[in-house]
Amino acid sequence: MRANACPCGCRGVTMSSSNLSSGDSELPRDIDVVVIGAGQAGLAVGHALKHAGVDFVVLDAATELGVSWINRWDSLKLFTSARYCGLPGLPFPGDPDRYPAKDEVPHYFRTYAARFELPIHLGQRVVSVRRSDGVFTVTTPGASITARQVIAAVGAFQTPIIPEFSRRLASSVTQLHSHAYRNPDQIPAGKVAVVGSANSGLQIAAELSASHEVVVCAGRKQPRLPQRILGRDAFWWLSNCGILRLPTNTPLARRLAMPDPVVGTKIDELARSVGFAKRVVDVAHAQLVTADGKRIDASTVLWATGYRNDWSWLGAELLGADGAPEHDAGIGASGLHFVGLYRMRNRGSALLGFVGRDAERVGAAVAQRCRSAVAVS
């Protein structure tokens, strides 16, 4: 491996072909574990499996690491300080109290994959996973792999959600999801309606307000959290108070359930440069219709309306009655496991600096099953 300087200030690493590769000819035909996804969840669980001596590969559809971060809007900065952006075994580089730019994350991922020599195969989109006679078949467009266990580390934000009624909005109105937003230059002149008032929606609205008239259509009220409290990063408090580790399946957690907080955005200050309206419930030709019956004219509608999981690539035998896979905080009785899902085990399950705890737990369970299978054979 050859070290290079990279923009995030860490010592970037050029991967050797031994641990980062592409091409169907290099894929194994049979292996103990296949990890699907080489984002933060896949890297973290790969680290756990490597440490445990498990025979595994990581498959990812993208042709480079960190694409989900590369494709976020240009000015995005993480609202967790660098202290809480690292994965197991390698702190995020730089001052731990700074807030990294999103483009630093792919560099960190590449360094991480090289440092631990993770067996990652890029450009390998998994089109199906089936299970028969206790064995999984993982299929890509050009190959099939047989595996005893599978870990889906496909992330919490897979498929953008846009309301069905958006299809009836007049074609004269430009529409895009926050997933496709990059910078104000791609937004036509005129009024912009940002639908959604969570972190992404408010940050994008603030950026657009410098060049456009903006109205934010808010859904349910979001709790607010300052970026820093008494000189400490908000996530220092959340972590040290145990809130991020609180299991999501307990009665106490259900009573305390609330939307994720808006971190760092000062709503009162934002209200000086953007308008606010009620939740959008329908459209009427070229107008948005809000919950209180008002109508909004906008040249562009930016849907900051979140994401949903897509399990269409899993065989029916792996899905429960509700169409979703069954697991216990990521560990599946069938041998299909999960890492990185939203609130899978606690509030930190999908966050960059906190996914490692779940990854280590799931990785340990997978490694134990591998050892048990060897003992039985």
Q: Which two tokens stand for residue 321?
A: 């009655």
Half-sphere exposure of 37 (CA within 13 A, CB side): 22
- Mean of pLDDT values over 60-67: 96
What CA–CA distance (Å, rounded) separates 233 from 170? 44
What kind and span of H or E run contains 81? Answer: none
What kind and span of H or E run contains 111? Answer: helix 104-115
pLDDT tens digits, one per residue of 323-342: 889 999 899 999 999 999 98
The full DSSP string for 222-265 is PPEE-SEETTEEHHHHHHHTTGGGS-TTSHHHHHT--PPPEES-
- Per-residue pLDDT band for 302 (boundaries 50, 70, 90) equals very high
Query: What confidence score (pLDDT) does residue 377 get?
Result: 62
Angle between helices 40-52 and 104-115 (to 10 degrees): 10
Better pLDDT: 59 or 259: 59
- Mean of pLDDT values over 276-288: 96
Query: What confidence score (pLDDT) does residue 11 get?
Result: 31
Pairing mode of beta strands 192-195, 224-225: unpaired
Determine contact, residues 76/182, Cβ cutoff 8 Å: no
The amino acid occupying position 289 is: V
- Mean of pLDDT values over 86-110: 96
Q: Is the pLDDT of residue 303 over 90?
A: yes
Better pLDDT: 245 or 270: 270
**Residue ranges of domains in the chain, CATH in brackets:** 2-158+309-376 (3.50.50.60), 162-223+258-303 (3.50.50.60)
Start-to-end C-alpha separation, the chain: 38
Query: What confidence score (pLDDT) does residue 254 get?
Result: 59
Query: What confidence score (pLDDT) does residue 9 get?
Result: 33
Percentage of the chain surpassing pLDDT 70?
A: 90
